[in-house]
Copies of this chain bind each other. A is one copy, B any other.
Amino acid sequence: MSIGDDCALLRLRTGEELAVTTDLSIAGRHFQLEWHSPEAIGHRTLARGLSDLAAMGARPVAAFLSLGLPPQIVGRWLNRFLDGFFALADANKTPLAGGDLAESPAAVADIVLIGAVHRSRALLRSGARPGDLLYVTGQLGGASAGLAQLKKLAEGRHKRASKSKPVRELRIPPDLEDTLQPHLSPQPRLAQGQYLARHSLATAAIDLSDGLSTDLAHLCNESGVAAELDAAALPIHSAANLAQALHGGEDYELLFTAPPSARIPRNIAGVPVTRIGRMVRARADRPQIMLVTQSRSRPLESRGWEHFS
Contacts and interface: CB of A to CB of B under 8 A. Distances in A.
A interface secondary structure, majority: strand
A222 B6 CA distance: 12
Contacts of A7: 19-21, 52-53, 55-56, 58, 113, 115, 122
A243 B117 CA distance: 50
Interface string A90-132: 0000000111111111101010111101010010111000000
A23 B119 CA distance: 29
A17 B10 contact: yes
A19 B98 CA distance: 11
Among A4, A5, A62, A66, residue most surrounded by chain B Cβ atoms (within 10 Å): A5
A242 B7 CA distance: 29
Nearest to A117: B9
A108 B117 CA distance: 31
Given A30-B102, A100-B110, 7 more contacts: A7-B115, A22-B99, A24-B110, A26-B103, A104-B106, A106-B108, A112-B112
